[in-house]
A and B are shown apart, each in its own frame.
Chain A
């Protein structure tokens, strides 16, 4: 299965495409997606600690705009969003 991760805020620096895409096993969880992202950062950004901190402190949101927990299971090709620490106004 393929999962697309839409990038927002500071995580936009992870890619020029504003999107990351990973192959994942069926029933992978958000926890597994975090690991995939950390691995991607190790390979592409020499393990940039600031970037990794963003992944570890972010929430995730489903395609239908609900926040999802680390136990949320991916059961189909899906697009989710990473929600880094916020600060508008």
Chain B
């Protein structure tokens, strides 16, 4: 069972309670909640907030693919997964991503949670623009999906 969504920060905030409500089940004995939050430092710069951009369809497709791969690559068939990522401006400390997983056993839950965040970092078309104390801002470099041409 998968819930995968991009959330516009102008409309609502990401909610751990909603994630818990989705994955909660007597079928599972282990749950893990991962959140990514906006921190105040990056590369020796004082960050005051981040704007997230997203290609919504490609992102939700990538969440679905990653979830499906867990069946084959990790052999974790019985699971509940909730993934939401923010789009728009977030202040320090606000949640940019929630990955909540529930599995029968803790080993599976830890492996699955880690697998999902690492694959999202590699494959989901999401971008960050950091905003700094001096009113400057910059898009973070990121990782290319293809090899550079020149």
Contacts and interface: CB of A to CB of B under 8 A. Distances in A.
A9 B143 CA distance: 12
Contacts, number: 89
Contacts of B136: none
A65 interface: yes
Interface residues of B, number: 32
Interface in A44-85: 53, 56-59, 61, 65, 67, 70, 81, 83-85
A38 to B, nearest CB: 9
Interface string B110-138: 00000001001101111110000000000
Interface residues of A, number: 23
A12 B141 CA distance: 14
Interface string B5-46: 000000000000000000000000000000010000000000
Contact of A88 (B127, B144, B145): B127
